[in-house]
Structure 1
Amino acid sequence: MARIKPKQLLIQSKTKKSPTRISYSTIVTWNLIVVLVVLSSYATYRHWHYRPILETEMDLPRTEHVGRSDDFTKTSRPSYAVMDTGKGSITIEIYKEASADVVDRFVSLCKRNHFKGMPFRHVIKNFVIQGGDFDFNGAAQEWILKAKASGENALSPKHEAFMIGTTKNPNNKGFDLFITTAPIPDLNDKLIVFGQVINGQDIVQEIEEVDTDEHYQPKTPIGIINITLKQEI
């Protein structure tokens, strides 16, 4: 084999490329990227691992409870109220589309037994039965005169007999109940209707027939024993 001369070796060594060196900035950059990825993964793990514990301790709502609408409130209200009276039971359907303030207040008072032992203060034949917290003497005669004068007016479903409502006066701090015993054309001007008697109309009529004095107050006391709320009947 022919020997390579020293001069040729020198020429070949010059033509060989030296290995590429990685710069210091590149190394630092990649190290930072690795650290950020690790920290991000760890933070994500802690979030999902401890979330159920935090929700329990802080009583936070879970995802499935977020976004409840007013429909939930409507469906959670009782659908019926059973009014036990001295003459028998009257079943009332509570209108879910009625005034929310009135319905919620009525339900709250029923739960607190507010109506327990409450008398029917006024009984006006072919008009209304009234029980509750307010006097009705002067208004009773005014209502009767208006009802007779406008008896030929067109009636809507809310003017029918056996509707249940309360007065519209916003200054009243109590709560009175009215059960109509006949169609009343100007009912919407006086009451906020929030329900209807669906069973026990005969009991309403029996109460309507009690003897009253000149102020439409029953001569023999008769009243509400209690009101029980029900979701189904």
Structure 2
Amino acid sequence: MARIKPKQLLIQSKTKKGPTRISYSSIITWNLIVVLVVLSLYATYRHWHHRPSFDTEMDLPQAENVERSEDSAKLSTPRYAIMETAKGSITIEIYKDASAGVVERFINFCKSDYFKGMPFRHVIKNFVIQGGDFDFNGASQEWILKAKASGENALSPKHEAFMIGTTKNPNDKGFDIFITTAPIPDLNDKIVVFGRVIKGQDIVQEIEEIDTDDHYQPKTPIGIINIMLRQKL
């Protein structure tokens, strides 16, 4: 085999290519690509991770949305009403779970000062005190007779004394208030209970003791000075 001369070896070594160097711009470009890929994968993960809860909220039945709005309305409903009378103040707890229409009308009338100066038109001892424009003359005797004849009926909390109610079939122009002074089971057929007296029962009893005529109308006028709403006592 012919031996390669030293001169030829030198020429061959010069012609051999050295290792290729990667430029800084290539390094930066590849780093950017890697960062973009990582960010894309992270964004995709977050999207799919939160999508089920989002879809669930979007697909809620309409009835559930209505329930949420009703719950919000209950939370914003005033919890108490302070009834000022000539005898003193009566604190009423408003039943938020009572008829929504009745509670709403009562609150609206309170805000418009509808009850300011309203007289107690009928006071029936051991029965009810009634204020407002409802014609109670014909019904009062009937209710008393029913109450006496049905003493054996079972009573629930809404039939107790010191409950607050209003006419079951009211007209659109007014609002009557009834305060029971004894347990009245049959009254449930006549009024809608929407609250109870939690303070001032003695004031109710003082009003109950005033003198009335044969139609249960107070001989000396007495009524509601005003009713104010409260969220807290």
- Find the counterpart in structure 2 of residue 217 from structure 1: 217
Amino acid in the other structure paired with 2:72? F
1:112-148, Cα deviation, whole Å (9 max, x unpaired) = 0000000000000000000012221110000000000
Provide the TM-score with structure 1 as the length reference: 0.70
- Find the counterpart in structure 2 of residue 16 from structure 1: none
Taking a change above 3 Å as real, the CA distance of residues 189 and 71 of structure 1, as seen in their structure-2 partners, is: same
User: Cα offset for 1:173?
Assistant: 3.5
Alignment of 1:115-134 (within 5 A): 115-134=115-134
- Find the counterpart in structure 2 of residue 5 from structure 1: none
Unpaired segments ≥5 residues, structure 1: 1-66
- Find the counterpart in structure 2 of residue 78 from structure 1: 78
Provide the TM-score with structure 2 as the length reference: 0.70
The size of the alignment, in residue pairs, is 167
Q: Distance in 2 between matches of 1:90 and 1:170?
A: 24
User: Cα offset for 1:187?
Assistant: 1.8
- Find the counterpart in structure 1 of residue 231 from structure 2: 231
Is the Cα–Cα contact under 8 Å of residues 118 and 132 in structure 2 kept in the other structure? yes
User: Cα offset for 1:83?
Assistant: 0.1
Q: 1:186 is paired with a residue of what secondary structure?
A: helix
Is the Cα–Cα contact under 8 Å of residues 115 and 227 in structure 2 kept in the other structure? yes
1:89 aligned onto 2:89: yes
Q: What is the Cα-based RMSD across aligned positions, in Å?
A: 1.0
1:59-117, Cα deviation, whole Å (9 max, x unpaired) = xxxxxxxx552100001000000000010000000001000000000000000000000
Identity %: 81
User: Cα offset for 1:152?
Assistant: 1.6
Q: 1:215 is paired with a residue of what secondary structure?
A: coil
Unpaired segments ≥5 residues, structure 2: 1-64
Which stretches of structure 1, 4 residues or longer, exceed 4 Å deviation after superposition?
Answer: none
1:3-26, Cα deviation, whole Å (9 max, x unpaired) = xxxxxxxxxxxxxxxxxxxxxxxx
Q: 2:229 is paired with a residue of what secondary structure?
A: strand
- Find the counterpart in structure 1 of residue 69 from structure 2: 69
Q: 2:138 is paired with a residue of what secondary structure?
A: helix
Q: Distance in 2 between matches of 1:126 and 1:172?
A: 30
- Find the counterpart in structure 2 of residue 186 from structure 1: 186
Alignment of 1:172-183 (within 5 A): 173-183=173-183
